[in-house]
Amino acid sequence: MKQARLDHHFVEYIPEQLQPGVLYVSLTFTTVVHLCCCGCGSKIVTPLSPDDWRLTFNGATVSLAPSIGNWSYPCRSHYWIHEGTVRWARQWTPAQVQAARARSSQHQPDHSSQHHPTSAGHLQRILRQLRRRLAPKA
């Protein structure tokens, strides 16, 4: 079932079992995770950084920008999350996706190994943060 609204939960660690309709925000790991709003059950990870997604919290609701385009998933859903409301966007054609990726790579440094949620660089950053937090205090 398609989601129309998302509640947000500020968490340190993303839970293993995600609930539909919940946006999990980990400021510690600069990551937002949710189940795809189309209802397909795919786990959507959006890293927060100036080159990736930006989070806005107005004291009551959360917004993410830019849009969530799930081009690599079978559902190919495309939506915005604005003040907790899911705003559906039109699906892009493969040519539009390819053109947007080309524009993005021309205007931004190649950070695929640094910020992609499943990349080694992103995982290394998370491990460093965990080690610092778990290190015995001298």
Domain boundaries, the chain: 7-134
- For 60-90, what is each residue's pLDDT tens digit? 999 999 999 888 899 999 999 999 999 999 8
What is the strand order of the sheet 31-35 is part of?
7-10, 22-26, 31-35, 43-47
- For 29-59, what is each residue's pLDDT tens digit? 999 999 999 999 999 999 999 888 999 999 9
Q: What is the largest CA-CA distance in the chain?
A: 56
